Amino acid sequence: MDYLWAFLIGGAFCAVGQLLIDLTAMTPARILVTYVVSGVFLGAVGVYEPLAEFAGAGATVPLTGFGYNLARGVKEAVQSDGLVGALTGGLQACAGGIAAAVLFGLAAAVVFGRGDKTAKMFG
């Protein structure tokens, strides 16, 4: 059952993204930024947590889940450490994903990076 909801909710997040690309001509970068900020907002107002409990990876794998993770981290850090938590909580909660992306990105550049310039998704 958890796979069905992960598929449906995760797919729905992606379908909305595709509609934004096709109907508003938003660039991929703007969509990612919009999704993360939306995730922070939805996490802050308390909507995303029940969704994440219900849809599992369907809510946490889309980039809104990254935003929700930032909000969750900040909330916990403010509760335990006070105002400084507003600065420390977000990155703490997302550190694994960000560090992985940067380190694997560097490794991929070393191993797979070609000498020539090729047109790619995010040129």
Q: Kindly identify the residues of this chain, within the stretch 23-82, that bind another protein according to CB under 8 A.
A: 23, 25, 27-29, 31-33, 35-37, 39-41, 43-44, 56-58, 60-63, 65-67, 69-71, 73-75, 77-79, 82
Nearer to another protein, 8 or 47 (CB): 8
Residue 12 or 47: which CB sits closer to another protein? 12
Residues 103, 114: Cα–Cα separation, whole Å? 18
Count of residues touching another protein (by CB under 8 A)? 88
| Secondary structure of residue 41 in the 3-state scheme | helix
| Interface of this chain with another protein, residues 83 to 112, rule: CB under 8 A | 83, 85-87, 89-91, 94, 96-98, 100-102, 104-109, 111-112
Q: What gap in Å lies between CA 93 and CA 113, rounded to an integer?
A: 30
How many Cα atoms within 13 Å fall on the side-chain side of residue 114?
Answer: 5
Distance set, CA 2 to CA 6, 9, 17, 72 (Å) = 6, 11, 23, 22
Nearer to another protein, 41 or 50 (CB): 41
